[in-house]
Structure 1
């Protein structure tokens, strides 16, 4: 392997692709290295729900940048993306109270209108084809987006190739040090190296993974056929989602929702449920999902979890579901939502250590690389962990 690159990216998931995109937009010479033949990890095993509005803190900052990047990429790379917003159904008054509290927060800049619009029960059941029995209200998050992750990732790879990004797939990385990536096909030299390998960070930088308590979170997901009275015009969240996303979960009103759900359905709490749904362009619906954290999750999926997911789906929509596919998703889960580190000069480790990689990954990489390559950029608001410590 001859020549030297401005930027070498290890990993072709959404964070790695985002890093390559941010660098290529700045006219830099970029190579992407991955041991697989194409993206096959968390980037293609998710809902395709770009849930910007329910974030808080640094995740919200990255979401603002990511939304702009997704809209630009969809236009230029020509993949399916819709400005769908997000629908939320409230099935208890405490869930509606939590939505109302979230709607009172100051707007943060996604658009000119309200970022959370409350609905009553009639408006919710008119907008979403759910069984009306226990619906008390809901909300719309108009600035969220939806894509098909299976086609989007491949389209982004093709587009980056057209920008001059070089992809060296089926190339395993054994070690990364200042200026050099050692691979199964020889060394690659680069001025800046971005390591974006998600949960496999413990394979290249185990000390960083251990310091941030990074584990693997495995998810049970499925795709179903569901005879609905009308299509899902947007991703759909429930009360189980509200106690997961930080923009809702950190509000005082979330405590009552969490306590009631966990007390009333310990079986669903036991699988750490996020009950949500997205409909793909072919009409099928992605259903999920459970969460289990460990260093090495077992590959065996319990049919009990699948039964719970299907039962809750059929109860919510009042219709029988037929499973088309099942799969196990895996993503990095850490103490914080992001791991941003520089373990050696010019070696940047960027990992989204929770399940919002598609939502925030493009914003994370744009922000970090702008801070490195743009002389007019403002410094990162999150700390960068270096070999010498936090700065």
Structure 2
């Protein structure tokens, strides 16, 4: 087996894999190292929604490009990509005002969307509680995926069709530069060399450069998500986002009315736990529902705990029941996910000219990693 590559990527989540993919497309020799048997971090513990409409600034543009990339890949291998759109359902006058402003904003930059009246919402989404919608804004071009299946297929495609050397169960414990190259060492003492190493470590801060991460300002968000039993008669297409999402996502925060937004009393406890309720029906007919957000600094991740808080789950379920009419309380499982984030949009740090750390993308990873990684690789090899 070869031991020298043009690029080594540490971390086989969506961020790392897209960097490996784009480098391989530029005919670079690429080694992708994943510490687990299969990626089990934020990449596979999310909703599986590609929703550029919720992002702001350059991240919207990365997300829009990522939609194209997902669809290009889907034409070559089944990544479970489904183009069923996203809808933000407003439940009060303030949310409806923001939905209208977002519609106006995206009309100006030619990003397809449409406004839906209350009657149109209930006709298009008959599983909504009749009292919930005031109106909605719909984005027909956005995508839904099954994250674990997508990652398995994407990794296989990169390995089999793009020439990426992928090694799982490969924990990197050392990364150093010398003599014009970088060397990584695994727990089994194997070493690999490359002219460039990208470390896409998610919220794993202990294996490499722990002192750096302790001072990085990175924080970790713990989220709770749930999955219902299968509802074979339910036809819930696309990404179903709600009034709480309108109150949370970055794209709405840039709008004129957002500064005057107040929190109704019935949202106060949900806001305390960072809860915004959204839905996505999985391929088996079950529905993924969530989520909450609790935070800790990079050096205090253990404070978040590994447990599931039943009180938080019940808050999510109670709000979900206010929104949809099917028996959403019939749950089969719940889980905790973790992702790292920073106040600076993303954490990019050059150890030296050969080693770069890229993490802290927050909740934008599934939507925008494709476009972001494409730009990063183009810059490295320009």
TM above 0.5: yes
Change (3 A) 1:168 1:86: same
Contact 1:216 1:293 in 2 (8 A): yes
Hey, what does 1:126 align to over in structure 2? Answer: 123
Hey, what does 1:274 align to over in structure 2? Answer: 276
Contact 1:212 1:336 in 2 (8 A): no
CA distance in 1, matches of 2:106, 2:317: 37
Contact 2:231 2:285 in 1 (8 A): no
Deviation at 1:230, TM superposition (A): 4.5
Unaligned runs of 5+ in 1: 376-391
- What's the RMSD between the two structures over aligned residues? 1.9
Deviation at 1:352, TM superposition (A): 4.0
Contact 1:65 1:366 in 2 (8 A): no
Hey, what does 1:32 align to over in structure 2? Answer: 32
Hey, what does 2:141 align to over in structure 1? Answer: 143
Unaligned runs of 5+ in 2: none
SS of 2:154's partner is: helix
Q: 2:319 aligns with which of 312, 316, 325?
A: 312
Hey, what does 1:63 align to over in structure 2? Answer: 63
Deviation at 1:177, TM superposition (A): 2.2
Contact 1:5 1:30 in 2 (8 A): yes
Q: Does 1:367 align with 2:365?
A: no
Contact 1:102 1:116 in 2 (8 A): no
TM norm structure 2: 0.91
CA distance in 2, matches of 1:102, 1:53: 9
Q: 1:355 aligns with which of 363, 372, 380?
A: 363
Deviations 1:267-296 (A, max 9, x none): 111110121010111111000000011131
Contact 2:270 2:276 in 1 (8 A): no
Which is worse superposed, 155-164 or 176-185? 176-185
Deviations 1:94-125 (A, max 9, x none): 1110011111215586xxx6533111100111
Deviation at 1:334, TM superposition (A): 1.5
Contact 2:223 2:336 in 1 (8 A): yes
TM norm structure 1: 0.89
Deviation at 1:227, TM superposition (A): 5.2
CA distance in 2, matches of 1:60, 1:340: 19
Hey, what does 1:209 align to over in structure 2? Answer: 213
Q: Does 1:332 align with 2:348?
A: no
Change (3 A) 1:61 1:292: same
Hey, what does 1:291 align to over in structure 2? Answer: 293
SS of 1:268's partner is: helix
Contact 2:88 2:240 in 1 (8 A): yes
Hey, what does 2:199 align to over in structure 1? Answer: 195
Q: Does 1:239 align with 2:238?
A: no
SS of 1:88's partner is: strand
Contact 1:63 1:360 in 2 (8 A): yes
Hey, what does 1:169 align to over in structure 2? Answer: 168
Q: Does 1:43 align with 2:51?
A: no
Change (3 A) 1:352 1:333: closer
Q: Give aligned pairs, total.
A: 369
